[in-house]
Structure 1
Amino acid sequence: MKTLAASSEELETLFSEIGTEVLGEVSSLSEDMARVMLAEMPEAREDYLTQVALLTTARKIAEEIAMTHQLAWMSDPSLTLTEARQEWEDTRPMDEGLMMIVDRIQDSPYPIYATEELEEIAQEWAIPMWFFEGLIGAENPYRYLEEHQGIMEEGANIRFLREVQ
């Protein structure tokens, strides 16, 4: 969710900004996907048609991901703040998504994320790093989460506000 708009000028600005963001995300994602696909299929570099098909596929997948990511909230850009929050609550990743990451980290016999990646996850979820580290290190992370539910609620508030700005 980018902005709660009412006038046609505001809507035009809103959709222009979203279009620019989608374009940037598509470009970035398609480059990354093409690089990975070409690394996994080096024979595609030798055949022009195969390479074009691979690059086209990467672009189409990137477009789908970007459109889903950018426009999933947009059923009515003129929602009130309360309605927008309710819609966001209905479609946002639930706390269980963070707990799945924590479970994977705890179940792994070796570190699966670099410190930078953990910091990015904490930033994405809008939680303090000390809380995320405590969650990962907790004997019972679900109890730890329950004991610190206020932090998760504040993180949800921050993530929502990121969307409406």
Structure 2
Amino acid sequence: MRIGLVSDTHDLLRPEVLDYLRGSDHIVHAGDVCGEAVLQELARIAPLTAVRGNNDRGAWAQRLREQELLRFGGATILVVHDIADLGRAPDTGGAATVVTGHSHKPRVEERDGVLYVNPGSAGPRRFKLPISAGELIVERGRVTAKLVLF
């Protein structure tokens, strides 16, 4: 199963990011969507789960939760916009994978048996950080992550 990852679009969906997400079985947006049209466009590609980021405001954003706990193919994945919201000793809710956004810095890291993935920012360029997205591949309960820079 391929789960497309995107975050911090800030109301900008780049064609190359949309092309990358095509073929996903599910898409996860880790917050700072900044516009309902972004969610509608992503949902045309695949089933979508999105969390609310610190810049998501308005009636459409109130429908988004701050955290989502997802299960795919025997894997449990926690999605939260800002990793700081989990605190110093994160309670991952039993998830072996945590997807975050907020920093705009693409990163894959394993700590204490938990895979942390930040797909970076697919929206407007911030400082000298790259435009990026990612994917999770779930096979028999195991999750691997890949990031792509545009």
Give the TM-score of the pair, scaled to structure 2.
0.22
When you count helix as a share of all residues, which structure comes out higher?
Answer: 1
When you count strand as a share of all residues, which structure comes out higher?
Answer: 2
Query: Which structure has the larger Rg?
Result: 1
